[in-house]
């Protein structure tokens, strides 16, 4: 999270193996399309969710939303201005969707963090950041104890946004406009398992309408929720 550090972290055989296994699973799936990019492994699945699922997930987000937070405080108060909602993975609404995401990637559900809903009103955004943890940051020791590095991200768009709200990868050079029901998937690591700086991405400001998504981050090991 937070700003790009010079070296985001060393290679890792474990993460490299996860990267290969997930890419192989996705590439064998006829529902998945790879975005033609060299800098990062990015995929999407157009109709991953049904309209009903999108509607119910939006209701869950609206009922549980609170201001979004950051792991390291940014000097810019406008860095992440959305609202978030931690989704109860054991609820009968969330669990099947949560497990379907893990199954699509071929990652054991225990490696996934709780799905997090995000809501952006006009003007709200999540400035350019990495989903992986910067290993030089003070939070890294705690993250290592909670399942280690984030490997893959899966993010679903739950509604059409009137204007704005694209997910922009400025270094990889793609901008993805929100598209209802679509799941976007990317590997935050390089093929050698080191964090990939080119996965820097931004949830661009919504101009008109409201944007609802959920984000699911996978860890290299089993995720252990921090004690509250």
The least CB distance from residue 183 to ligand AKG, in Å, is 12
- Residue tagged 């059409």 (tokens): 160
Sheet containing 174-176: give its strands across. 126-129, 201-203, 167-169, 174-176
Should residue 148 be labelled a site residue for ligand AKG when binding is judged by CB under 6 A? Answer: no
Q: Which is nearer to ligand AKG, 92 or 140 (CB)?
A: 140
Least Cβ distance, residue 13 to ligand AKG (angstroms): 26
The helix, strand and coil proportions of the chain, stated in percent and rounded to the nearest 5, come to 25, 25, 50
**d(C-alpha 116, C-alpha 203), whole Å:** 14
Give the shortest CB-129-to-ligand AKG separation in angstroms.
7
Residues in the chain: 228
**Which two three-digit tokens encode residue 39?**
């800098």
The CB-of-94 to ligand AKG minimum distance in angstroms stands at: 17
Using CB under 5 A, list all residues that contact Fe ion.
131
Q: CA nearest 115: which of 183, 217, 42?
A: 217
Quick note: the x/- pattern for ligand AKG over 41-80, rule CB under 6 A, is ----------------------------------------
Which member of 44, 48, 126, 212 binds ligand AKG (CB under 6 A)?
A: 126
CA atoms within 13 A on the CB side of 97: 28
Residue 131 as a binder of ligand AKG (CB under 6 A): the answer is yes
Residues at the site binding ligand AKG, with contacts judged by CB under 6 A:
118, 126, 131, 167, 201, 203, 213, 215
């Amino acid at each position: 999270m937070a700003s790009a550090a010079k070296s985001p972290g060393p290679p890792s055989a474990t993460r490299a193996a996860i990267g290969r296994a997930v890419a192989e699973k996705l590439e064998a799936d006829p529902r998945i399309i790879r975005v033609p990019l060299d800098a990062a492994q990015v995929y999407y699945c157009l109709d991953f969710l049904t309209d009903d699922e999108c509607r119910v997930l939006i209701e869950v987000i609206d009922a549980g939303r609170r201001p979004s937070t950051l792991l390291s405080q940014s000097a810019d108060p406008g860095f992440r201005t959305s609202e978030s909602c931690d989704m109860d993975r054991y609820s009968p609404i969330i669990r099947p969707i949560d497990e379907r995401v893990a199954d699509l990637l071929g990652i054991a559900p225990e490696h996934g963090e709780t799905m997090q809903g995000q809501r952006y009103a006009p003007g709200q955004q999540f400035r350019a950041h990495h989903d992986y943890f910067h290993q030089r940051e003070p939070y890294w020791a705690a993250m290592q104890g909670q399942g280690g590095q984030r490997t893959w991200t899966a993010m679903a768009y739950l509604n059409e946004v009137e204007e704005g709200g694209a997910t922009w990868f400025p270094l990889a050079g793609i901008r993805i406009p929100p598209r209802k029901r679509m799941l976007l998937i990317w590997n935050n690591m390089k093929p050698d398992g080191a964090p990939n700086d080119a996965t820097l991405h931004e949830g661009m400001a919504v101009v008109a309408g409201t944007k609802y998504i959920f984000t699911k981050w996978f860890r290299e090991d089993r995720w252990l929720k921090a004690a509250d």
